[in-house]
Chain A
Amino acid sequence: MDITEYIKLVFTDYTLRTITLGTAILGAVTGMLGSFAVLRKQSLLGDAISHAALPGIAIAFLITGAKDSNTLLIGALISGLIGTFWIRGIVTKTHLKSDTALGLILSLFFGFGMLLLTFIQKQPNANQAGLDKYLFGQAATLVESDVWLMAIVTGICLIVMLTFWKEFKILLFDADYTQTLGFNTKFIDILITTFIVLAIVLGLQTVGVVLMSAMLLAPAAAARQWTNSLSVMVFLAAIFGAFSGVFGTAISASQNNLSTGPVIVLVAGVFVIFSFIFSPSRGLLFKQIRFIKNRRDLELHKTLAFMHHIAETHEDISHPHAIKLLNNFQGYTRSTLQKLVDKDYVELNGNMWSLTKTGFETAANLYTKQSTEDE
């Protein structure tokens, strides 16, 4: 299947269109809210919440006996929130650290959810099949109403985020200052957390409990590399998230036996790796290049200082010396010498070099600067 054909199919085929739209919206909203989670150092909260949502789904099913995705999601939301606030209770009330609290809630709630799921499976109710799609998610089960729900929640998120933008931002970077300014930090905090839980719960049906945390983190972590501004980061994260959704769906649709959730996560992972390496200011590649450049500069200066050292002993500073003299000196290479010539510090004449006047002065200044710094 080539690309144009696929794009045409996205617009005509109902299922594919729904899934593509759904994953794109999901990616956007999780990317957006994930930025806050990452910056608040709550990256793993997403993982804990998504696992903690499982018993809620099972209990909602046990109570209503119906598989309506909206009721199940409300159950997931409630149990996700209970999990979140219990984590907070453990961290504030006891001396257990947040990682322990997260791991506890994650595994305990998930185990309880599994107990309920297996219990449900043994019940004589034909309706129960398919509950386990919430474990790994099944994008293929998305229908138009699900996409509408996602779109509406995303809209609400966007409105709330724009209204409370200033408060969110200030709480993010300086919580104590926010409190002294008289903002109700608890309320803002709960608001952000609730929306993060909401975004996670929305994604459960599509990518599932286990992989949801990556949807939250990966776009935000990728976006963080490109900017230092919160608004740009949130915007970029939303775009990365949406594209991971679209590409992931495309790849999994074009192959057999590929579930959508893991592919979306891997696509988001590729975004992260790309950002880690190629981001201009923070990326590993440019950092390495800067590092090498700095080292070259240092070597250049060392060579120049060494030449100055030799030239000092002669009356005529431009007295030529053999290149061999530099051999036992590590900073020297052909290219550094050539660079010095380019900068007009040194003149080359066959196998001999001599310092120019500018070169001598620069080297002398280099030396004095160093010596004053040393003192």
Chain B
Amino acid sequence: MSNAQIEIQLIASIVAVACAIPGTFLVLRKMAMISDAISHSILPGIVIGFFVTQDLNSPLLILLAALTGIITVVLVEYIQKTGLVKEDTAIGLVFPAMFSIGVILIAKNANDIHLDVDAVLLGELAFAPFDRLLIAGTDVGPKSLWVVGTILLITITLLILFFKELKISTFDKGLAASLGFSPAIIHYGLMSVASVTTVGSFDAVGAILVVALMIAPAAAAYLLTTDLKKMLALAIGFGIFSAIFGYWVAHWLDASIAGSITTVLGLVFLLVYLFAPLKGVIAVMYREKQQRTEVSLLTFLLHLKNHDELEERHVNHLREHINWQKVRAKTVLDLAKKTI
């Protein structure tokens, strides 16, 4: 492994962790789509920030773009409050409009800025190690590593400081409000963290991957546990695993790193979705089938209780009376034999 490869994997893993933390809360608060809206609507903020600073990694640009993200959230809430349309429609109206403004701004000034819409949406992790941060002439590592590292540090600090508040307000808004925590402050705090994370990561991994990294690990973890701390840990684990494994898949296919990390995330989610022990599709289907057999058994016993004649008790009779198929009747009978 070369130095650049290690750095890429490090950046991807840090982004994965930084996204998984706010993502878990977004999924629990049923606001997952907000992350999608933010990731699109930061585009005009990035473009304007780029006009001002001429540097994609400058903190000012990140703040400006994050501000656009928060404006989006406020706009969505304002539109929703007017009662004219539902919340999801409000989200669906605001972010394409913001994104369009961004695209037009880029197109109109194509000559002045070296910004590509594709790059904003998809990012190019492979180039991240080339943009070095120089402090007093010495090379201290890639710029984006420092950017996402700082963001991760802030996120973790906030998480530890406000874990209790976040937990209560996520699961019981009313209780949180009555205990004196302002749900509004926590809400906007979370939104700000999500915005900053999105902006900080977009240049490394692109806006869409940010959404995937926020939602997919959290959703997969949610299927496996009902404990918030475990869910956070699992989400972080899934994120890091997908980031590193995805990098190697991309390396092998010679394709977009962001795309392959997302694909690995998709596979992870698919596996969990199918095989999660309690809430996976297969488990749910098995449980439903068992419950059906149990109900059938009860029906069968009731049938026996109600009819004493010998002909009524013949197996074939079950088929016409309770309308069972042969196989089904056999399963139930076997079960009945076993239990008695």
Contacts and interface: CB of A to CB of B under 8 A. Distances in A.
A38 interface: yes
Interface stretch (A5-13, A61-69, A264-272, A333-341): A264-272
A266 B91 CA distance: 15
B89 A221 contact: yes
A94 B253 contact: no
Contacts of A104: 32, 212, 215-216, 219, 269
A97 B29 CA distance: 10
The winner among B101, B108, B215, B250 for most chain A CB atoms within 10 A is B215
A96 B223 contact: yes
A337 B127 CA distance: 74
Given A115-B255, A115-B259, A213-B92, A100 B27 contact: yes
Contacts of B269: 104, 108
A106 B92 CA distance: 13
A83 B254 CA distance: 26
Interface in A262-282: 262-263, 265-266, 269, 272, 276, 282
Interface in B276-291: 279-281, 284-285
B32 A99 contact: yes
A254 to B, nearest CB: 14
B262 A258 contact: no
A89 B269 CA distance: 13
A276 B219 contact: no
B91 A44 contact: yes
B85 interface: yes
Interface residues on B, range: 35 or more
Interface stretch (B33-41, B156-164, B176-184, B297-305): B33-41
Interface residues of A, number: 61
Contact of B255 (A90, A108, A119, A259): A119
Given A114-B122, A217-B93, A266-B104, A107 B279 contact: no
A103 to B, nearest CB: 4
A332 interface: no
Contact of B85 (A93, A213, A221, A265): A221
A263 B107 CA distance: 11
Interface string B238-264: 000000000000100111101111110
A330 interface: no
B263 A41 contact: no
A111 interface: yes
A259 B118 contact: no
B211 A214 contact: no
B222 interface: yes
A46 interface: yes
B215 A107 contact: yes
Nearest to A110: B208
A346 interface: no
A44 B51 CA distance: 32
A107 B255 CA distance: 17
A111 B100 contact: no
A58 to B, nearest CB: 10
B82 to A, nearest CB: 6
B30 interface: yes
B79 to A, nearest CB: 8
Contacts of B214: 103
Given A103-B215, A104-B215, A104-B219, A44 B103 contact: no
Given A90-B273, A96-B222, A111 B33 contact: no
A103 B33 contact: yes
A136 B255 contact: no
Contacts of A261: 100, 103
A259 B260 contact: no
Nearest to A264: B100
The winner among A47, A224, A266 for most chain B CB atoms within 10 A is A47
Contacts of B117: 135-136
A214 B107 contact: no
A130 to B, nearest CB: 13
Given A95-B279, A257-B107, A276-B82, A111 B261 contact: yes
B31 interface: yes
Contact of A114 (B82, B84, B208): B208
B211 A107 contact: yes
Nearest to B35: A103
Contacts of B208: 51, 107, 110-111, 114
A33 to B, nearest CB: 14
Contacts of B35: 103
Given A90-B273, A262-B103, A102 B266 contact: no
A47 B93 contact: no
A114 B257 CA distance: 10
A132 interface: yes
Interface of A: 38, 41-44, 46-47, 51, 89-90, 93-97, 99-100, 102-104, 106-119, 122, 132, 135-136, 210-211, 213-214, 216-218, 221, 224-225, 257-259, 261-263, 265-266, 269, 272, 276, 282, 284
26 contacts: A38-B89, A43-B91, A89-B281, A93-B284, A93-B285, A104-B216, A104-B219, A104-B269, A108-B265, A111-B209, A111-B263, A112-B259, A116-B259, A117-B256, A118-B259, A119-B253, A122-B255, A132-B118, A135-B117, A214-B92, A221-B93, A257-B107, A258-B104, A261-B103, A262-B101, A265-B100
Given A114-B256, A218-B96, A224-B85, 13 more contacts: A38-B85, A41-B88, A111-B212, A111-B260, A112-B259, A115-B259, A117-B259, A118-B256, A119-B254, A135-B118, A217-B92, A261-B103, A276-B79
Closest 10 CB pairs of A and B: A111-B262, A115-B259, A214-B96, A262-B100, A107-B212, A114-B259, A108-B266, A118-B256, A103-B32, A43-B89
